[in-house]
Amino acid sequence: MLLPASLALLLSLFGATVAQDTSLSAVKQAFDKANIPTNLAINFNPQALLQVSLPQPSAREITLSAGVQLLRNQTAGPPTFSVTGAAQTGLGPFVIASVDPDAPTPQNPTNAQIRHFLGGNFFLSSDRGGLLSNSTPAISGYRQPTPPAGSDAHRYIFLLYKQPAGFNQQTIVTPSTSIAGFNISNFALRVGLGDPIGGTFMLVAPQTA
């Protein structure tokens, strides 16, 4: 019989492990280093690890580790979400938001933020490895990163919030609201999301091929 440690070693030898976030302090450090709390005007003290996984056409899915750089063609999605290391966050519901604060370029982000995803009513299924599932359509469906040619890589940030009562009745952002000029911290303030309880992000540069 394999002990857990030798099983983990075996899995890593065969390249089967995924580079997901494993430490709250490492995620916080990566956010701070990338200036995300300042740029998004958020308080970011994660209590849970938000795992964001992108399916790949002919390879194992990629699970983000905060700050990982991916090729655009690895980000078609749609992503699946799970939560790990979350003893005290409850089973939901949760809201997940994803924004690009670097549009059209990090140096001059005049269209920012671009809303790449916004959805509520996510619940944790503790018996399925922390997978988050929801049965309602997203307010803004997942939009693949498409940084314009010539731009530096953009940051695509995913944030997890506890969903407040009445969230489903909010009309500040609807499926017909422009995805540009979004402000996640202002939205959070207006609908009572509080501070994010988890998050992660990826970097994606323009890809012409």
Ligand X SMILES: *[C@@H]1O[C@H](CO)[C@@H](O)[C@H](O)[C@H]1NC(C)=O
Q: Which residues bind ligand X (CB under 6 A)?
A: 41, 57, 71, 73, 183, 185-186, 189, 209
Q: Compute the least distance from the CB of residue 171 to ligand X, in Å.
A: 18
For residues 136 and 186, which CB has a smaller minimum distance to ligand X in the complex?
Answer: 186
For residues 122 and 201, which CB has a smaller minimum distance to ligand X in the complex?
Answer: 201
Q: Compute the least distance from the CB of residue 24 to ligand X, in Å.
A: 24
Q: Compute the least distance from the CB of residue 189 to ligand X, in Å.
A: 5
For 61, what's the count of Cα atoms within 13 Å in the CB-facing half-sphere? 14
Q: Compute the least distance from the CB of residue 73 to ligand X, in Å.
A: 4
For residues 116 and 130, which CB has a smaller minimum distance to ligand X in the complex?
Answer: 116
Q: Compute the least distance from the CB of residue 23 to ligand X, in Å.
A: 28
For residues 8 and 172, which CB has a smaller minimum distance to ligand X in the complex?
Answer: 172
| Sheet with strand 114-125: strands edge to edge | 59-63, 49-56, 80-84, 131-133, 114-125, 94-100, 154-162, 198-204, 68-70
For residues 12 and 186, which CB has a smaller minimum distance to ligand X in the complex?
Answer: 186
Give the C-alpha distances (Å, rounded to integers) separating 81 from 87, 102, 130, 149.
17, 23, 9, 29
Give the C-alpha distances (Å, rounded to integers) separating 125 from 76, 93, 128, 133, 134.
25, 11, 5, 7, 10
